[in-house]
A and B are shown apart, each in its own frame.
Chain A
Amino acid sequence: MHERLPDRLPYDPAKFVNRQAALQQILALVRRIAAGLPVEKRVLFACGERGCGKTWFLRHLAWTLSEQGNAFSLYLNLPDEWVESLGSIPRTVERIAAAVRQAGSAASPLVLLVDGIDDLPADLAEQFGDMQTLSHWKELVAQLEENVLAPAAQNPRLLIVIAEQGGPRHWSAPEFREKSAQIELGPFEEPENNAAKDYVQEQIDRQLPHSSASLEEIKKWAGGYPWPTYLLARDLSRGGEALQGCALLLLGKEHEIRYPYLEALSILQAFDDVRIGELLIACFPGQTWDYPNCLKMRKGLLATTMVHWVKEKRGYVIDEPLRRLLEAALHLRDQGLWRELHCVAYRLYEQWAADFEQSREDWEEEQAYHENALRQDGHEPADCPPAGKRQQKEESHE
Chain B
Amino acid sequence: MFSSSASGGKISSSSPEADSTAKRFQEWLSQAGLGETNPFGPLNAGEDPHLSRYLIRHDVFRAIWQDKPAIVFAPAGGGKSAFRARLAYACRVEEDMRQVLAIPYIAPTPTMDLETHLEGILRGAAQELLLRLTYRPATFTSLDDPACAAIRRALDQNDPGLLEQFLPQLEREGTTQPLVETFDLSAAHLPAPAEPAQVHALCTALAQIPPVPQVPPVAQRWQDFFDLLFATLHFEAVYILVDGVDAFPETIADPDAAAAVLFPLLAQMPHWAAQQVFLKLFLPLELAPVLPEPLTKPAKIDMITWTPELLVELLHARLRAATNGEFDSLDAISAPSLRNAEAELLAGLPPLPREVLALLNRAIVEHVRRVGPTGGLEPEDIKAARRWYQEERPFSP
Genuine A/B complex:
yes
* Chain A residues in the interface with B (C-beta under 8 A): 138, 145-147, 150-151, 154-156, 168-170, 172-175, 178, 272, 274, 291, 295, 302, 309, 311, 314-316, 352, 355-356, 358-359, 362-363
User: Is B338 within 8 A of A358, CB to CB?
Assistant: yes
Q: Which residues of B contact A154 (CB under 8 A)?
A: 94-97
Is B192 among interface residues, defined by CB-CB distance under 8 A? yes
Is B326 among interface residues, defined by CB-CB distance under 8 A? yes
User: Is A309 within 8 A of B328, CB to CB?
Assistant: yes
Report, nearest first, the 8 A-B pairs whose CB atoms are least far apart: A170-B325, A309-B327, A359-B339, A169-B325, A356-B337, A146-B191, A314-B331, A175-B95
Contact for A146 among B192, B321, B335, B337, CB less than 8 A? B192
**Bound: A358/B379 CA distance, A:** 8
**Bound: A179/B50 CA distance, A:** 20
Q: Which residues of A contact B86 (CB under 8 A)?
A: 174
Min CB distance B55 to A, Å, is 5
Q: Which residues of A contact B93 (CB under 8 A)?
A: 150, 173, 175
Is B53 among interface residues, defined by CB-CB distance under 8 A? yes
Q: Which residues of B contact A151 (CB under 8 A)?
A: 191-192
Min CB distance A104 to B, Å, is 12
**Bound: A300/B93 CA distance, A:** 36
* Chain B residues in the interface with A (C-beta under 8 A): 31, 52-53, 55, 58, 61, 86, 89-90, 93-97, 191-192, 316, 320-321, 323-329, 331-332, 335-340, 344, 374-376, 379
User: Is B374 within 8 A of A291, CB to CB?
Assistant: yes
Sampled A-B contacts (7; CB under 8 Å):
A174-B53, A272-B331, A274-B376, A309-B327, A315-B332, A358-B344, A362-B339
Min CB distance B378 to A, Å, is 9
User: Is A174 within 8 A of B52, CB to CB?
Assistant: yes
**Bound: A178/B58 CA distance, A:** 7
**Bound: A316/B331 CA distance, A:** 10
Min CB distance B122 to A, Å, is 28
**Bound: A311/B340 CA distance, A:** 10
User: Is B316 within 8 A of A311, CB to CB?
Assistant: yes
A146-B192, A174-B86, A356-B337 given as contacts; is B329 within 8 A of A309 (CB)? yes
Q: Which residues of A contact B375 (CB under 8 A)?
A: 291
Contact for B336 among A169, A178, A363, CB less than 8 A? A363
Q: Which residues of A contact B340 (CB under 8 A)?
A: 314
Q: Which residues of B contact A145 (CB under 8 A)?
A: 191
User: Is B324 within 8 A of A309, CB to CB?
Assistant: no
User: Is B326 within 8 A of A302, CB to CB?
Assistant: yes
Contact for A359 among B55, B58, B338, CB less than 8 A? B338
Q: Which residues of A contact B337 (CB under 8 A)?
A: 355-356, 358-359
Residue of A nearest to B375 (CB): A291
User: Is A358 within 8 A of B339, CB to CB?
Assistant: yes
Q: Which residues of B contact A150 (CB under 8 A)?
A: 93, 191
**Bound: A291/B374 CA distance, A:** 9
**Bound: A332/B94 CA distance, A:** 58
Residue of B nearest to A142 (CB): B324
User: Is A309 within 8 A of B332, CB to CB?
Assistant: yes
User: Is A311 within 8 A of B328, CB to CB?
Assistant: yes
**Bound: A299/B292 CA distance, A:** 58
Contact for A174 among B55, B96, B320, B376, CB less than 8 A? B55
Q: Which residues of B contact A359 (CB under 8 A)?
A: 336-339
Contact for A172 among B53, B90, B336, CB less than 8 A? B53
Q: Which residues of B contact A168 (CB under 8 A)?
A: 325
User: Is B326 within 8 A of A309, CB to CB?
Assistant: yes
Q: Which residues of B contact A314 (CB under 8 A)?
A: 329, 331, 339-340
Given A169-B325, A311-B328, 6 additional A-B pairs, CB 8 A: A154-B97, A156-B97, A170-B320, A170-B324, A172-B52, A178-B58
**Bound: A316/B333 CA distance, A:** 12
**Bound: A320/B374 CA distance, A:** 31
Min CB distance B280 to A, Å, is 17
Q: Which residues of A contact B89 (CB under 8 A)?
A: 174-175
User: Is B58 within 8 A of A172, CB to CB?
Assistant: no
Residue of B nearest to A360 (CB): B339
**Bound: A274/B335 CA distance, A:** 8
**Bound: A315/B376 CA distance, A:** 13
User: Is B94 within 8 A of A352, CB to CB?
Assistant: no
